[in-house]
C-alpha cells in the first residue's frame, strides 16, 4: 500500500470542494499551515483528508505544498495579520499556523472577538468568511480544544445542559429544523446571549425557545440542546 503523503496548505485559506472542480460546492477549508493527507493524486487536483478532524474532499494541488518539516507551527491569534512567508507577504486569518504565530492561549473571549462581524460563508472556517460550525471549531481549536467540523457531529460532544438559565459562557447551543435535524450551532455567552454565524458572526438573545434575532425582532432558530465541553 502506498504511504499517505503529508502536505500543508500554502495560501491564507484554501477551499475544499465536494468534487474535483472549482465550480463544485465548497464543503470546508484548510488554513495556511494546516496539515493535509493526500489520499489520491488526480493531476491538477488531489483527494485529501485534513489531519486535524478527518474531513475529506478535493483540493487544487497548486494550493498545497509537500512537507517533511516536523516543526510544530504556532497559531496566528489575530484575525488579519500580514507576515513575510516563503511564498511572499501574506495576510493570514485567525487560526492559521506558521513559525511566526504565537504560543499564547488567550481564551474564548479573544477567539470570539476575532470573528465578530465575519460574513457567513458556507464551508468557511476563517475570519475571512465562516459558517456556524466552522466558527465554533476554529475558535475552540486555537484554545487547544478539538471539535469535529459539522454541527451534527459537534452535538455528540460534551455533557447535556437542560435549561438555558443553567448555561455558562463557552457552552454550545444547538438548533434543529422541523424534522429534528441539527442545522445550527453557537456559543453561549451568559446573560442569555449567544454568538453565532448567521448572515455574519454576531450576538443575539437566547432563551428556551431558541435564538431571538435582535435586528428583525423575531425568533430565527429553534433550540434543540445545550452541551458543555469545559
Q: Which three cell numbers stand for residue 110?
A: 479573544
CB 184 within 8 A of CB 195: no
Domain boundaries, the chain: 1-102, 108-228
3-class state of residue 139 by DSSP: helix
Which DSSP string corresponds to 207-224?
A: -SSEEEETTTTEEEEEEE
CB 157 within 8 A of CB 167: no
Q: Tell which phi-psi region holds residue 158, choosing left (phi > 0), alpha (psi between -120 and 50) or beta.
A: left
Spatial separation of the C-alpha atoms in residues 223 and 165, rounded to whole Å? 13
pLDDT-flagged residues of the chain (< 50): 1
Q: Count Cα atoms within 13 angstroms, Cβ side, for 19.
A: 4
CB 208 within 8 A of CB 226: no
Burial 103-140 (b: 16+ CB within 10 A, else e): eeeeebebbbebbeebebbebbbbbbbbbbbbbbbbbb
Spatial separation of the C-alpha atoms in residues 96 and 94, rounded to whole Å? 6
CB 162 within 8 A of CB 206: no
CB 173 within 8 A of CB 184: no
pTM: 0.94
CB 174 within 8 A of CB 184: yes
H or E element in which residue 72 lies: none
3-class state of residue 60 by DSSP: strand
Q: Which CATH class is domain 1-102?
A: mainly beta
Beta carbons within 8 Å of 130's beta carbon, 6+ residues apart: 115, 118, 120, 121, 124, 138, 197, 201
Q: What pLDDT is attached to residue 177?
A: 96
**What CATH number belongs to 108-228?**
3.90.1720.10
Q: What pLDDT is attached to residue 188?
A: 98
CB 208 within 8 A of CB 223: yes
Q: What pLDDT is attached to residue 41?
A: 95
Spatial separation of the C-alpha atoms in residues 37 and 180, rounded to whole Å? 34
Amino acid at each position: 500500500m502506498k504511504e499517505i503523503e503529508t502536505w500543508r496548505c500554502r495560501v491564507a485559506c484554501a477551499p475544499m470542494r465536494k468534487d474535483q472542480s472549482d465550480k463544485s460546492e465548497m464543503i470546508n477549508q484548510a488554513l495556511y499551515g494546516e496539515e493535509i493527507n493526500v489520499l489520491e493524486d488526480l493531476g491538477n487536483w488531489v483527494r485529501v483528508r485534513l489531519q486535524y478532524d478527518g474531513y475529506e474532499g478535493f483540493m487544487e494541488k497548486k494550493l498545497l505544498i509537500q512537507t517533511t518539516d516536523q516543526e510544530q507551527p504556532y497559531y496566528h491569534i489575530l484575525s488579519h495579520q500580514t507576515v513575510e512567508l516563503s511564498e511572499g507577504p501574506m495576510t493570514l486569518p485567525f487560526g492559521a499556523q506558521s513559525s511566526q504565530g504565537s504560543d499564547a492561549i488567550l481564551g474564548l473571549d479573544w477567539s470570539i472577538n476575532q470573528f465578530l462581524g465575519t460574513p457567513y460563508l458556507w464551508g468557511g472556517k476563517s475570519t475571512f468568511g465562516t459558517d456556524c460550525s466552522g466558527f465554533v471549531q476554529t475558535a475552540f481549536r486555537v484554545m487547544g480544544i478539538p471539535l469535529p467540523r459539522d454541527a451534527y457531529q459537534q452535538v455528540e460532544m460534551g455533557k447535556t445542559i437542560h435549561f438555558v438559565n443553567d448555561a455558562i459562557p463557552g457552552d454550545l447551543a444547538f438548533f434543529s429544523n422541523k424534522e429534528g435535524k441539527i442545522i445550527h450551532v453557537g456559543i453561549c455567552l451568559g446573560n442569555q446571549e449567544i454568538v453565532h454565524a448567521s448572515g455574519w458572526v454576531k450576538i443575539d438573545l437566547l432563551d428556551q425557545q431558541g435564538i431571538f434575532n435582535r435586528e428583525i425582532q423575531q425568533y430565527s432558530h429553534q433550540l434543540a440542546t445545550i452541551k458543555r465541553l469545559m
